Amino acid sequence: MICENCYKEVEPVVSRGWNAGGMKQVVKKCPLCKNNVSKTQAFYSYKDYDFENLPILYDERTRHKCEIKGCENYIEEGTMLHHFFPKFLFGELAERAPKSYLCNTHHMKEWHAKLTPNMSKKDLD
């Protein structure tokens, strides 16, 4: 494979990682320049690899703790930046309003499921 950064023929180093939201990610790095071998595809589906047996490159799940007192879900789930003013309802105001980190359970399965259940629907009237 040709690295799209250093233009050398290389065998990419395939590694695994987790983003801050706990999502599994597979990356292919050039062993020479250390960049992603592709400029257009940063991540690959973990389902296409033996994820558990790939070397770990990074784990950002515990970068931020869940703001719910006593919650330790962030250790496994990671956290997501939660907008108290959802972007799909408030637009730009969402970025200026308070935000906080919540684990997936408290963010998506609790807050959004109960307060903004239609957020992901495409055909809102």
Query: What was the pLDDT predicted at 122?
Result: 47
pLDDT over 60 (residue 75): yes
The larger pLDDT score, comparing residue 17 to residue 118, is at 17
Query: What was the pLDDT predicted at 33?
Result: 96
How many other C-beta atoms lie within 10 A of the C-beta of residue 58? 12
Task: Measure the CA–CA gap between 82 and 60, rounded to whole angstroms.
Answer: 17
pLDDT over 80 (residue 28): yes
pLDDT over 50 (residue 76): yes
Give the model's confidence band at 44: pLDDT under 50 very low, under 70 low, under 90 confident, else very high.
Answer: very high
Structural tokens at position 64: 């931020």
